[in-house]
Structure 1
Amino acid sequence: MAVASSAGARRGLAAVLTVVLLCAAATPAQAEPKPVKQLKKELAALQKDSDKLITDYYGSRVAQQKAEKAEKAAREKLAAAQAVYDENSAELRAMAIAKYIGAEPGELAMFGGGGEDPSALLGRMALAQHLIDLQDARLRGYAAVRNAHKQAKDEAVARADELGRTVDDLEKRKKKAELQIEKIKDKIDQLHKAPGVRRSDGTWVPQLPEGSDNITSRMRLVKNLIQERFEVPMGIGCFRAVQDGGEHPLGRACDFMLSRGGAMPSGPELVRGEQIVAWATKNAKRLGIMYVIYRQRIWHARTGSWRTMSDRGGTTANHYDHPHISVY
Structure 2
Amino acid sequence: MAVACPADRRRRPILTKALTAMITAVFLLASLATPAHAAPKPTIKQLKKELAALGKQSDKLITEYYNGRIAHQKAEKAEKAAQDKLAAAQEVYDRESAELRLMAVAQYTNGGPPSPATMLSANEDPSALMSRLALSNHLVDQQSARLAGFAKVRDDRKQAEGEAAARAKELGDQVADLGKRKDKAEQLIKKIKDKIDKLYQAPGVRRSDGTWVPQLPGGSDNITPRMRLVKTLVKERFAVPNGIGCYRAIQDGGEHPLGRACDFMLSRGGSMPTAAEVARGNEIAAWAIKNSKRLGIMYIIYRQRIWHARTGAWRTMSDRGGTTANHYDHPHISVY
1:81 aligns with 2:85: no
2:164 to 156, 170, 173: 156
Hey, what does 2:238 align to over in structure 1? Answer: 230
Aligned Cα RMSD in Å? 1.6
Q: Distance in 1 between matches of 2:100 and 2:274?
A: 59
1:211 aligns with 2:215: no
Bigger radius of gyration, 1 or 2? 2
8 Å Cα contact 1:256-1:322 kept in structure 2: yes
Q: Distance in 1 between matches of 2:211 and 2:157?
A: 76
Deviation at 1:33, TM superposition (A): 4.7
Q: Distance in 1 between matches of 2:103 and 2:273?
A: 66
8 Å Cα contact 1:33-1:190 kept in structure 2: no
1:108 aligns with 2:117: yes
What SS class does the counterpart of residue 321 from structure 2 fall into? coil
Hey, what does 1:117 align to over in structure 2? Answer: 125
Q: Which amino acid aligns with 2:54?
A: L
Among all aligned residue pairs of Structure 1 and Structure 2, give the percentage whose two residues are the same amino acid.
72
Q: Distance in 1 between matches of 2:118 and 2:160?
A: 46
Hey, what does 1:59 align to over in structure 2? Answer: 67
Which sits farther off after the overlay, 128-137 or 199-208?
Answer: 199-208
Hey, what does 1:306 align to over in structure 2? Answer: 314
- Give every structure 1 segment of 4 or more consecutive aligned residues whose post-TM-superposition deviation is greater than 4 Å: none
Q: Which amino acid aligns with 1:147?
A: D
Hey, what does 1:23 align to over in structure 2? Answer: none
8 Å Cα contact 2:114-2:136 kept in structure 1: no
Q: Which amino acid aligns with 1:77?
A: K
8 Å Cα contact 1:291-1:326 kept in structure 2: yes
Q: Distance in 1 between matches of 2:217 and 2:130?
A: 116
Deviation at 1:199, TM superposition (A): 2.1
CA 1:222/1:131 → structure 2, altered by over 3 Å: closer, same or farther? same
Q: Which amino acid aligns with 2:200?
A: H
What SS class does the counterpart of residue 46 from structure 1 fall into? helix
8 Å Cα contact 1:230-1:272 kept in structure 2: yes
1:274 aligns with 2:282: yes
Q: Which amino acid aligns with 1:121?
A: L
Q: Distance in 1 between matches of 2:185 and 2:118?
A: 82
Deviations 1:15-74 (A, max 9, x none): xxxxxxxxxxxxxxxxx9521111111001111111011001110110111011111111
Q: Which amino acid aligns with 2:211?
A: T
Which sits farther off after the overlay, 146-155 or 313-322?
Answer: 313-322
CA 1:212/1:126 → structure 2, altered by over 3 Å: closer, same or farther? closer
Hey, what does 2:4 align to over in structure 1? Answer: none
Q: Which amino acid aligns with 2:208?
A: S
2:77 to 44, 63, 69: 69
- Map of 1:164-243 to 2, 5 A cutoff? 164-243=172-251
Q: Distance in 1 between matches of 2:116 and 2:268?
A: 91
Q: Distance in 2 between matches of 1:215 and 1:162?
A: 55
CA 1:309/1:86 → structure 2, altered by over 3 Å: closer, same or farther? same
Unaligned runs of 5+ in 1: 1-31
Structure ranking higher on relative contact order (CA contacts 8 Å, 6+ apart): 1
Q: Which amino acid aligns with 2:42?
A: K
1:92 to 100, 108, 117: 100
Hey, what does 1:43 align to over in structure 2? Answer: 51
TM-score, scaled relative to structure 2: 0.84
Q: Which amino acid aligns with 1:108?
A: A
Deviation at 1:327, TM superposition (A): 0.8
The alignment covers a number of residue pairs equal to 296
Q: Which amino acid aligns with 1:125?
A: L
TM-score, scaled relative to structure 1: 0.86
Hey, what does 1:9 align to over in structure 2? Answer: none
Deviations 1:302-324 (A, max 9, x none): 22211110011111211112111
1:140 aligns with 2:148: yes
Q: Distance in 1 between matches of 2:237 and 2:203?
A: 20
